Amino acid sequence: MKELTVDATVESIRVITEFVDEQLEQLGCPMKAQAQIDIAIDELFSNIVHYAYHPEVGPATVRVEVVEDPLSVVITFIDQGVPYDPLAKADPNVNLSAEEREAGGLGIYIVKKNMNEITYEYKDGRNILRIRKEI
């Protein structure tokens, strides 16, 4: 398991993505899966940046673990910001046009569709969001 803690800022998204990509490359992760994971990182870490501590800045930790059978990568996002469960909101109706659809929720929807598993819990004053992608 590898872990990195950074300030929850927009600038940290690149740092976190590079950190995770380094782990994925060591696993020989296919480029398609890596691209899907990178999109998930961008969406999920952006949520932490914009909602967890707003307008302040606080720490966020990203943990990368490899799980066997099936070979998967589990990425955990941890922050101590306000409780926020991005999975609680209903999925957007993607059959509606952009004008007809309510704003928000599309990024999380894309993450749900591209990951094999996504879970959220609020425990000990921390938001803990996990994604799992088979590689």
Determine the average pLDDT of the residues in 53-62.
95
pLDDT in tens, 89-115: 776 666 666 666 566 667 898 999 999
18 has pLDDT over 80: yes
- Provide the pLDDT confidence category of residue 66 given band limits of 50, 70 and 90: very high
Please provide the size of the chain in residues: 135
129 contacts 86 by C-beta, under 8 angstroms? yes
**Residue 60 belongs to a domain with what CATH number?**
3.30.565.10
pTM recorded for the entire structure = 0.91
The structural domain count of the chain equals: 1
Is the backbone of residue 101 left (phi > 0), alpha (psi -120 to 50) or beta? Answer: beta
pLDDT in tens, 39-52: 999 999 999 999 99
Q: Amino acid letter at 50?
A: H
- Look up the domain containing 43 and give its range: 2-134
Determine the average pLDDT of the residues in 10-14.
97
- Token digits of residue 14: 């690149």
